[in-house]
A and B are shown apart, each in its own frame.
Chain A
């Protein structure tokens, strides 16, 4: 009798452990793009970008293929974008045709091999007061990208720091407070990436000075980057290449 009792005590425990293992979330640590060989311009030319004005300025700085006429940046005519539930339906200029259409339509038209997303500074006050106002629209955006172009590899970027430069400052909060908020947002990005099968590139890490502010030599106006700042971001992406399926 005892072996039978032992069996029935053991099996449910084993089954329970197996069930727990299978339902454990994907490790958020595994989403970061890891150090790789330098993919250089060849890799850079496979990237498309969509995000806030810090992304749109990639075009004006001329750091991508095509220079200031690059067709690798999806942006609204206003040159900026805020992440919310309406972002997939927001009107942007599809860079190859020059036509205005929704974000989802632009992604479907371009079928980017790799799409680099960057959101967080615009609307940060609201995001910090309600985490889901950041995480859920970001997830929805990634899903809309996947629906429009299933093969696209999505890379999220950590939110860039802001500079300690009050002269052009537009926020009510100080740069230090904004950077603390940015770090909170960056702490949420791994779980977003993990849950949506996206990569996360810690590009913000190459932009910070010793105090966590955007380096002055990378800062154009406290928020947007200089050409050199964007070159550092692109170098990070090129040396931390995402795995793209064959």
Chain B
């Protein structure tokens, strides 16, 4: 009996991640509003919003830009950065690889420079994280502590209560 109960419990735990992923999220917040919430939580120094040219350069498109906001630190000693990309439906699946490619290239192409001048910052880029919240794809290049606060704030504001 105990063994059966154990296996039933273990089996049901397998579905938890899927449940988390399918947890409904709001989709009515603009990327800008969510970015403001995230910026406050991350307490980013000298936060600056990327302009249209910078965004287009990041995601490699000359087409109309999506509902996307990126904040980065204008302080040359900090690699702090995060981005909110609001999309819908299946488009989410195409966004994650675009952002992953951007983060990986930024890390690989500039590692020598960062390791040389701001070595304590390189790990933020190396450990950059991308998360999907329904219609929102969110990435963060932040310290572990800031990243935790940042994603907690995003989750709190997007979760449907």
Number of interface residues of A (CB under 8 A): 28
**Which of chain A's residues has its CB closest to B77's CB?**
A78
Give complex CA distance A102, B75 in Å: 10
Among A76, A86, A122, chain B packs the most CB atoms within 10 A around the CB of: A86
Contact A78 B118 (CB under 8 A): yes
The reply to whether B110 and A91 form a contact with Cβ atoms under 8 Å apart is no
Q: How far is the CA of A80 from the CA of B46 in the complex (A)?
A: 17
Chain A residues whose C-beta falls within 8 Å of the C-beta of B75 in the assembled complex? 77-78, 91
In contact, B50 and A78 (Cβ under 8 angstroms): no
Chain A stretch 75-133: residues in CB contact (< 8 A) with chain B:
76-78, 80-82, 84-86, 89-91, 102, 122-127, 129, 133
B-binding residues in A (CB < 8 A):
53, 76-78, 80-82, 84-86, 89-91, 102, 122-127, 129, 133, 136-137, 140, 170-172
Contact residues in A for B112 (Cβ distance below 8 Å): 124-125, 170-172
Task: Give complex CA distance A170, B117 in Å.
Answer: 10
A145, chain B: closest CB distance, angstroms: 15
Inter-subunit contact A85/B57 (CB<8 Å): yes
Main DSSP-derived SS at the B contact region: helix
Measured in the bound complex, the distance between the Cα atoms of B54 and A80 in whole Å is 20
A78-B118, A80-B117, A86-B54 known; A91+B74 contact, CB < 8 A: yes
Q: Which residue of A lies closest to B75 (CB)?
A: A91
**A126 near B109: Cβ-Cβ < 8 Å:** yes
Q: Are B76 and A126 in contact (CB under 8 A)?
A: no
Minimum distance in angstroms from B131 CB to a CB of chain A:
24
Whether A125 lies near B110 (C-beta < 8 A) is: yes
Pick the residue among B50, B54, B72, B113 that contacts A123 (CB under 8 A). Answer: B113
Asked whether any CB of chain A lies closer than 8 Å to the CB of B48, the reply is yes
Q: Are A77 and B77 in contact (CB under 8 A)?
A: yes
Minimum CB–CB distance from A57 to chain B (whole Å) comes to 13
Determine which of A77, A133, A137 lies in contact with B76 in the assembled complex, contact meaning CB atoms within 8 Å.
A77
Complex contact A89–B51 (CB within 8 A): yes
Residues B74 and A90 in contact, CB atoms below 8 Å apart: yes
User: Whole-angstrom distance between the alpha carbons of A82 and B113 in the complex?
Assistant: 8
**Contact present for A123 and B74 (CB under 8 Å):** no
8 A-B pairs with CB atoms under 8 Å apart are A53-B117, A80-B76, A80-B117, A81-B76, A82-B110, A84-B57, A86-B74, A89-B74
Give the nearest-CB partner of A91 in chain B. B74
Q: Is the CB of B116 within 8 A of A129?
A: no
Q: What would 8 more interface pairs be, CB under 8 Å, given A76-B76, A81-B76, A84-B57?
A: A80-B76, A85-B57, A86-B50, A89-B54, A90-B74, A90-B76, A136-B57, A170-B116
Report Cα–Cα, A124/B110, bound state, in Å: 8
Q: Which residues of A contact B156 (CB under 8 A)?
A: none
B53 touches A126 (CB 8 A): no
Contacts of B113 in A (CB 8 A): 82, 122-123
